[in-house]
A = this chain, B = another copy of it.
Amino acid sequence: MKRFINSRHNIVTEALDGFLLSSPNAGLARLDGYPHTKVIVRTDWDKSRVALISGGGSGHEPAHAGFVGEGMLTAAVCGEIFASPGVDAILAAILAVTGEAGALLIVKNYTGDRLNFGLAAERAKALGCKVELVIVADDIAIPGAVQPRGVAGTLFVHKIAGYMAARGMSLKQVSRQARATAASCLSIGLSLDTCTVPGNIRQDYLGSDEAELGLGIHGEPGVSKVAVASANKLMMLACKKLAKATGASRSSYAMIVNNLGAVPPLEMAILVNSFAKTRLAEKVDIIIGPAHLMTSLNMNGFSLSLMPLTRQRKQALLFDVAANSWPGLRVRGKTTIIKLPEVNTERKYKASTDKNTQAIIRAVCRVLLEAENDLNELDTHTGDGDTGTTFANAARCVKKQLKFLPSADGAELTTALSDVLARNMGGSSGVLMAILLAATGEAYRHKADWPLAFRKGVEQVMQYGGARPGDRTMLDALLPGLETLMRGKSIIEAATAARKGARATAKMNKARAGRSSYVHADSLKGITDPGAEAIARIFETIADRSSPNS
């Protein structure tokens, strides 16, 4: 199993150091005493409030260090991966942050954590500290479990107690609310794969068509295997369990959507959408996440946690915190859908007639249709042999649309042609031609000078398409032709320049843009670029029409 670790023996201390180096909340520190004592504490803490201390085995990041900060925890005591911290480390954390107001320990329901936090609490009491302890046992996976596990519902306890403590309530009040919160939380997990402890061999006890429902956060097998199914179906299975656990309660709930480690953000968002379709969603008025809150190393799964809302709890959830990893929340509301801007429907042009312009366009279309096979043949050497067909398709569409186009208005006509090509030509060349014509039309609108307007259009093609002269593209014919016109020369001379430019592409053995750039130089030798050839033929067609003999 490939992992980003160094030695398995200092995973947790290295991760905590990395955490402190990058923590946006700069008011954090660690207690001295590595490797045994791994405690993250607030430095902006004045002991006048009830201290909140949580922790447990590591491997659940960002829990718990990511929740240390004003409005949530005062300290997090971190054990090794999936192993409770020792009594001395917990006691050190208590003594470091507990003042007159006392401390509340928030402990997930695992024997090791209960005992070690419990003994540390007793020792701290013997040293004169006021200490209370709340055990979170929110997992509902095992029906009738005497000791349900503590999982992501713990975050609710952190948040509610954090608010009470920040508001200056007494240890007795904070503890009472924390216990009530813990008693009311319900959580269930579902995963497509188990997690792997760094250094261990990957345990793939699930088949490729199996998922697990009702799992813990330490890689222990889930209560049941379920068939892999759609996100909607899997979410429904998890929600049914929760709905059953809520029973006939008519409460409204807050829900945590927790990423158990390795689910991509895209899929977590799909799961939220699936959740919204369940019946349980009707009872959920606040969503927290999706986010990494209480992970299980690299587990490819999620968990849901519910807490019944009261006015006070809602207020507590909304309270802003300085902890890095509290993701904020969303109060249920309708998604706003904004009407599309009008113009997105087919653009309307006022058809007009200009015999000469229409004749030129028809001639250009004819030559492109005739060139289809030649251009395709050239393209087989450098691309997938469809340049001719792409241009021919464009020509067919333009011919068909011609009578609906504003032929008598140069700027409007060019813009309209851009639209026709964008919709019908296809491929990158379709978009490039559309950009050329759109930008040309826009330029002509400001100044009625065709060569200049086309030159502006070509500039946009270069910007968006990324090609430069000499890159073996249609630009190598287009630019010489246009520049000849801009120097006041005739269209016949321009056509000669475009043809010369097209011919030169046969000697360019390094394509730097477009499809030819992926082709080996030898394959390009002696082959004219099909786009440049098309442009040369267009110039020649227009030149023919304007020559005295035409």
Contacts and interface: CB of A to CB of B under 8 A. Distances in A.
A14 interface: yes
A115 B431 contact: yes
Interface in A301-344: 302, 324, 327-331, 333, 335-341, 343-344
A329 B267 contact: no
Q: How many copies does the complex hold?
A: 2
Given A114-B465, A270-B11, A262 B265 contact: no
Contacts of A192: 2-4
A17 interface: yes
Interface stretch (A122-130, A387-395, A401-409): A122-130
Interface stretch (A169-177, A181-189, A286-294, A473-481): A286-294
A498 interface: no
Interface stretch (A228-236, A371-379, A484-492, A533-541): A228-236
Interface stretch (A89-97, A214-222, A246-254, A359-367): A89-97
A43 interface: yes
B15 A273 contact: yes
A26 B331 contact: yes
23 contacts: A2-B193, A3-B267, A4-B263, A15-B270, A16-B269, A18-B268, A20-B335, A22-B272, A26-B333, A32-B340, A33-B340, A41-B338, A66-B265, A87-B422, A91-B344, A92-B344, A115-B464, A117-B464, A119-B431, A122-B439, A126-B441, A262-B298, A262-B300
A386 interface: no
A508 interface: no
A199 interface: no
A257 interface: yes
Interface string A378-422: 000000000000000000000000000000000000010011001
A7 B88 CA distance: 52
A261 interface: yes
A460 B122 contact: yes
Contacts of A15: 266-267, 269-270, 273
A508 to B, nearest CB: 14
Nearest to A96: B341
Contacts of A441: 126
Interface in A29-81: 29-33, 37, 41, 43, 58-59, 61-62, 66
Contacts of A41: 338
Contacts of A324: 328
Closest 4 CB pairs of A and B: A118-B464, A24-B328, A18-B273, A18-B272
Contact of A114 (B133, B418, B466): B466
Nearest to A62: B265
A264 interface: yes
A428 B232 CA distance: 43
Contacts of A327: 24
Given A4-B192, A29-B338, A295-B264, A126 B287 contact: no
Interface string A101-128: 0000000010110111111001101110
Given A17-B335, A29-B337, A29-B338, A264 B61 contact: yes
A495 interface: no
Contacts of A92: 340-341, 344
Nearest to A263: B4
A164 interface: no
Nearest to A298: B264
A402 to B, nearest CB: 20
A274 interface: yes
Contacts of A211: 2
A7 B35 CA distance: 48
B6 A435 contact: no
A5 B232 CA distance: 8
A23 B276 CA distance: 13
A26 B329 CA distance: 9
Contacts of A43: 336, 338
